[in-house]
Amino acid sequence: MTAQKIPIDNIIRIGLIALIVIWSITILKPFLGVLLWGIIIAVSAYPGYLWLANKLGDRPVVAASLIVLLLLLLIIGPIVGSLPSFAGSIRSLVAQVHAGTLAIPEASEAILQWPLVGEPLYALWQQAATNLSELLVKFQPQLKEASVTVLESIAAASLGILQFIVATFIAGIILVNHARAAGLTSQFLHRIAPESKDRFLDLSGNTVRGVTMGVVGVAIVQTILVGIGFAVIGIPAAALWAAICLVLAIVQISVGLVVIPIVIYVFFNYELLPAVVFLVWNLPILSLDNILKPLLMGRGVDAPMLVIFVGSIGGFISFGFLGLFFGAVILVIANALLLDWLEGNAPPETLDTETAEPG
């Protein structure tokens, strides 16, 4: 009786624990994305938080509040600042279309020389310049679909901004309680890998910070430089185009998708000298990520750069923005485990080959 009762009790306990875990995950699922973003932001900002707290005389709450404020200004500030300009541009465009006063310059004949797309693009551009109202009627179904897509994208972007704001405040709370958070994380890793918990903790933190600097940091630098060029030359809604460049750079899509069409627009609508200067300004910016990303992503991480990069890109493709960070962390830890396993299971004669004397 007793021998049969113990396994049944264990099965019941395991079943109840599994049920509680499943219910907990289901309850937390709507908040997991925000919580994970808060953890990523906190880990990335931790060195800066420590430096600031020391400079302020060991005031963690003040330091965390300043970090939160700075992050909100860096990320949310340009987006919010571009909204009035964007709304004004849209209102002006709609008013000109309704009044029939929207003037589109005629296409240059040089476009005809472009391979594949030259002739259809020239014909479409000329129709827009000579009879815009007829062109709008012709493409009305496509324009309706595009407007729905744009509205959905704006709604998704607004939700993303709101989630980032909440995640930033969560990161501030984690930073204030960083000692407790680090202790719980260390205890969790000790239960999984007691002999390597400190190593895996350092690997995870350094990888997240490396990806943040290599992906988000480079994206911010590119966006600032691109935005300066847009503002100086007088591109309409410059802040909005810069914000789009920021999103593209973070998701690992070249900002050239925005910059190149704007450069073409400048060459068609500005004098030659400022257009050439604008082109020269943007050329190094387009290749900036190829230079800085390899230097920053692997900084302080005991893993090959290729492992970090493949983990980030593969994680992004599989899981979205969060995958940029967790994909790299998982692949770096997997690489460390694989190397440890290979070294621990290597044949003795292989390990002693270099020191063995000739027979």
For residue 320, CA distances in Å to 251, 309, 323 come to 8, 15, 5
Q: Give the count of alpha carbons within 13 A of 63, CB side only.
A: 22
- Following DSSP, what letter does each residue of 244-258 receive, concatenated? HHHHHHHTT--THHH
| Count of other CB atoms within 10 angstroms of residue 183 | 11
* CB-CB neighbours of 99 under 10 Å: 8
CA dihedral 126, 131, 137, 143 (to 10 degrees): 50
Return the pLDDT at 351. 42
Note down pLDDT in tens along the chain; length 359 residues: 454 555 787 888 888 989 998 998 889 888 888 888 888 888 888 888 888 888 888 888 888 899 899 888 876 766 666 666 666 666 776 676 666 666 676 766 667 777 777 778 777 777 777 776 677 777 777 777 777 776 776 677 677 778 888 888 998 998 888 888 878 877 877 777 677 667 777 777 878 888 777 777 888 888 888 988 988 888 877 777 887 888 788 777 788 888 888 888 888 778 888 889 999 998 888 888 777 777 777 666 777 777 887 888 888 888 777 777 878 888 888 888 888 777 764 444 444 444 444 43
- Domain layout of the chain by residue ranges: 34-83+160-192, 207-344
The residue to which tokens 């943007």 are assigned: 282
> Residue 70 and residue 81: Cα distance in Å, rounded?
15
Q: What is the token pair recorded at 90? A: 């849209």
pLDDT of res. 185:
79
> How many other CB atoms sit within 10 Å of the CB of residue 93?
12
Dist CA 74 CA 92 (whole Å): 29
Query: How far apart, in whole angstroms, are the C-alpha atoms of residue 300 and residue 76?
Result: 29
At 20 the pLDDT is 92
- Cβ contact 5:134 at 8 Å: no
